[in-house]
A and B are shown apart, each in its own frame.
Chain A
Amino acid sequence: MRSVSIIGAGCTKFGERWDDSLRDLVVETGIMALEDASVSGEEIDGLYVGNMSGGRFVEQEHIGALISDCAGLSRLHVPSTRVEAACASGGLALRQGVLAVASGYSDVVIAAGVEKMTDVTGGVAADALAAAADREWECFFGATFPALYAMIARLHMHRYGTTREELAEVAVKNHHNGCSNPISQYQVEITIDEVLRSPLVADPLRVLDCSPITDGAAAVVLAPTEEAKKYSDGPVRILAAAQASDTLALHDRRDITTLDASVFAARKAFSQAGLAPGDVDLAEVHDAFTIGEIVAIEDLGFVEKGKGGRAVSDGLTSIGGEIPVNTSGGLKACGHPVGATGIKQAYEMVLQLRGEAGKRQVEGAQVGLTHNVGGCGGTAIVHIMSR
């Protein structure tokens, strides 16, 4: 297996992009990533794109061929593959790209993610997202996506004493980080009080505990590490690309307050990289809901089970803390165009490891981890990278 590096990265502004179609977003991010990698196109011999639900959101399937076409690669007839693991589709595209280069099957590969979510009404979007859960045995009985995370939150609070305020602290921190990220959907500070006064969605989760509906796309360019310097002055090396699965339905899990898929993916990733959680300088984790970030930092091994809430309110995960989490603003503030999220996490990590993250830069960042979850834990994907 060959070592793989990211030689270029791009990401669109996240938000409600009413003027732009899915195709426009793909073109925009593709140009950014290719320019950043200084490749012209002929070198590309593989394309992977994460997209959760083009069929529901824009009534378009066959996204693989579409993005190759939009990226101007149709005459090169590059193999282009769309992959799907709900909200982890982007992370999955990255891992598939890494495997293709590592195996020697491909040399220069684009891993991208895209979701155009605002072409449908809120109700349709919510229903499309709920398809990440078990349609027959959860949604059929009235489960929504926030409801499943709310049930995780309820039990976490009951069992470990996690407080409503600690959940709010996650949103407050991520909004603060988002303020210094130019691509972030929200660039406005919020207070604990505002979170606690926002309307209930699924008790105990409120509107400001939930990531928004977002349009956006992101792309990274991968190449063998030994050739990376040819393209880039600041290649970022992938030390681990791990993936794990679990039951689709939340009620079938071993423990409702743990995402075992995250635990197993992290364990595998740390063993691939030969590192431990303490070696990680910063992480982008899957905070589709505030409780998601608390559970994630526990499951990834940064803090003990049950201590995630306190870790956030103690500032452990703030920029300047022991392990800064979601410097991009996370899914919560930066936005969550589901298929693009896993690639956006890698984009943020590339900026941080190159020292190009501006006001939100983590000083001396050497090793970063990204964590992308599909559904409420049916899939988890963990990447570890270093400069």
Chain B
Amino acid sequence: MSTVPRFWRHIPQRYNLVGTHCKNCDEYYFPPRTICPTCRRAARMEDHKFRGEGEVVTFTTIYNATDDFKRQTPYNLAIIELSEGPRLTGQVICSPSEIEIGMRVRPVFRILGKDGDRGIIYYGTKFVPAGGPI
């Protein structure tokens, strides 16, 4: 079981998709990076809140999960390219037959899981098909 700060320190990023933008090369990063891999020492980083709309680059449906996620199977996991450019990994809530490469998605705020039976319940961003209900 983990301590509260392990989850708490990532709240801005995981709840609100806050990443970074390098003013030197105009690249966006999620999760936030302190050092821009393109500019390194010349980087000028600022926080950026992503809108969260994006597109499925690739995906899978997970049937066999680790203990923490077992109750959720089967679930879709995808690499999503946000409109601003960066890519992230997240769950897409829809039927396994519905998800496809190139599908537009938007973010929703959901319970992601819990740390054992008595541990912390943690929240974050999942995605749904862009046209679908909330």
Contact = CB atoms under 8 A, between A and B. Distances in A.
Given A136-B10, A143-B77, A251 B88 contact: yes
Contacts of B68: 127
Interface stretch (A6-14, A145-153, A306-314): A145-153
Given A142-B113, A151-B58, A154-B60, A126 B66 contact: yes
Contacts of A322: none
A351 to B, nearest CB: 34
A61 B63 CA distance: 32
A371 to B, nearest CB: 23
Interface stretch (A52-60, A170-178, A199-207): A199-207
B101 A158 contact: yes
A160 interface: no
B91 interface: yes
Given A151-B77, A155-B101, A142 B58 contact: no
A136 B57 CA distance: 20
B88 A203 contact: no
B67 A127 contact: yes
Contact of A141 (B57, B58, B64, B112): B112
A141 B67 contact: no
Contacts of A303: none
Given A137-B31, A141-B91, A203 B60 contact: yes
In this complex, the interface size class of chain B, counting residues with CB under 8 Å from chain A, is 20 to 34
Contacts of B66: 123, 126-127, 130, 139, 144
A142 B69 contact: yes
Q: Which of A137, A201, A250 counts the most chain B CB atoms within 10 A?
A: A137
Contacts of B70: 123
A212 to B, nearest CB: 13
B89 A141 contact: yes
Contact of B79 (A136, A151, A203): A151
Nearest to A133: B89
In this complex, the interface size class of chain A, counting residues with CB under 8 Å from chain B, is 35 or more
Contacts of A126: 64, 66-67
Interface in B44-94: 57-70, 72, 75, 77-79, 87-91
A324 B85 CA distance: 40
A123 B87 CA distance: 28
A154 B124 contact: no
Contact of B77 (A136, A141, A200, A249): A141
Contact of A203 (B61, B65, B91, B126): B61
B77 A154 contact: no
Contacts of B112: 140-142
A142 B91 contact: yes
Interface of A: 123-124, 126-127, 130, 134, 136-144, 146-147, 150-152, 154-155, 158, 199-205, 249-252, 256
Given A142-B112, A203-B61, 13 more contacts: A127-B67, A140-B112, A141-B91, A143-B77, A144-B62, A144-B65, A147-B60, A150-B60, A155-B58, A200-B63, A202-B77, A203-B62, A250-B79
11 contacts: A126-B66, A140-B124, A141-B91, A151-B60, A154-B58, A155-B58, A199-B63, A199-B64, A201-B63, A251-B57, A251-B79
Interface of B: 10, 14, 31, 57-70, 72, 75, 77-79, 87-91, 96, 101, 112-113, 124, 126
